[in-house]
């Protein structure tokens, strides 16, 4: 049994992770702002992680074997957490994103289309950090989501005081009504209703992960001993046309496309630039991934029976 703290953990794969940790026999503490009650048997600390004094006071004399941070989006948040948990935990795992590799958001080395992107493309040990940017502004943060994650990883990597690992997640889908992005539901609704989806003429492939698989990987990461970033994606690249074909088969309809050239806005999951990840490092470390095409049809069927999302 380990003492594990989850920051966030109130919805989607974070909520499932808490249940997985409990089932594995760990002693779990959840830290969030209290919008959702925690399951029975879980210690719940209601505090704003952005308030360093309040966070430190809430932690009191508690120590943990591992902290899993589900909701760190900026270097400022990372710096607060690094100070608050210094000497309180031996390991810190941050949920990051494949968006750190998006070449539209940073000057990154070019990767040939079709070549899965490895972790070393973005090295948090050398990534520059700018704490004085307007990270507290919601509009700025939304527009600079990928950079916020890159810099947060960089702060934790250099903090010291604990082992640090980041899990760079692919596009997370599954869970029906729980899927808060609504992107898969957007496609299911459009194709089932015969509406057109906007795609790039030469759409490039991307990678996905089921929310249950991501929860399992995060559970694995709490007991593993690796440090640094690890990519989390199911096996197999898939472009928007392949995704639409799977949905169309489940819906019994033919997909209707409206194509746009590279550089113009399209529907979610249509990409005109390459940054699909490689999961080779996680595999070498011992995690076994499923194939996207094995679980995606069932996930699509679930989405087709779920109340549609307002995402457009």
- Would the pLDDT of 4 be above 80? yes
Residue boundaries of the structural domains of the chain:
3-304
The three-state secondary structure class of 3 is strand
- What's the rounded Cα separation, in Å, for the pair 7 and 81? 10
* HEC-encoded secondary structure of 215-237: HHHHHHHHHCCCCEEEEECCECC
Q: Are 171 and 98 in contact (CB under 8 A)?
A: yes
> Which CATH topology does 3-304 take?
Rossmann fold (3.40.50)
pTM for the full model? Answer: 0.94
| Per-residue pLDDT reduced to its tens digit, 130-176 | 999 999 999 999 999 999 999 999 999 999 889 999 999 999 998 66
| Per-residue pLDDT reduced to its tens digit, 262-284 | 889 999 899 999 999 999 999 99
Residue 203 φ/ψ, nearest 5 degrees: -70, 135
Q: What proportion of the chain, given as a percentage, has pLDDT over 70?
A: 95
Q: What proportion of the chain, given as a percentage, has pLDDT over 90?
A: 80
Please give the structure tokens belonging to residue 19: 């249940």
Q: Taking residues 31-53, what's their average pLDDT?
A: 89
């Amino acid at each position: 049994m380990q003492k594990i703290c989850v920051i966030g953990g109130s919805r989607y794969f974070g909520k499932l992770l808490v249940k997985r940790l409990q089932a594995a026999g760990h002693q779990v503490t959840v830290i969030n702002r209290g919008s959702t009650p925690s399951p029975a048997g879980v210690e719940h600390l209601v505090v704003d992680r952005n308030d360093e004094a309040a966070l430190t006071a809430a932690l009191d004399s508690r120590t943990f074997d591992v902290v899993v941070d589900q909701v760190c989006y900026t270097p400022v948040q990372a710096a607060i957490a690094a100070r608050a948990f210094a000497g309180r935990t031996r390991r810190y795992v941050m949920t990051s994103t494949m968006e750190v590799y998006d070449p539209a958001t940073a000057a990154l080395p070019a990767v040939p289309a079709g070549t899965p992107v490895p972790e070393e493309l973005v090295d948090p040990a050398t990534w520059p950090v700018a704490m004085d940017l307007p990270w507290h502004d919601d509009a700025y943060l939304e527009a600079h989501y990928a950079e916020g994650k890159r810099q947060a990883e960089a702060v934790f990597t250099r903090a010291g005081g604990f082992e640090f690992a980041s899990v760079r997640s692919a596009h997370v889908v599954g869970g029906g009504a729980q899927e808060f992005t609504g992107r898969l539901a957007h496609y299911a609704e459009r194709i089932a209703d015969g509406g057109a989806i906007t795609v790039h003429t030469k759409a490039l492939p991307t990678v996905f992960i089921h929310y249950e698989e991501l929860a399992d990987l995060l559970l694995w990461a709490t007991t593993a001993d690796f440090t640094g970033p690890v990519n989390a994606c199911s096996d197999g690249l898939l472009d928007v046309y392949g995704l639409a074909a799977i949905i169309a088969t489940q819906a019994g309809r033919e997909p209707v496309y409206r194509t746009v050239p590279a550089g113009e806005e399209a529907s979610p999951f249509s990409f005109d630039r390459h940054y699909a990840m490689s999961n080779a490092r996680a595999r070498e470390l011992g995690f076994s991934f499923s194939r996207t095409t094995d679980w995606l049809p069932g996930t699509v069927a679930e989405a087709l029976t779920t109340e549609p999302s307002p995402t457009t």
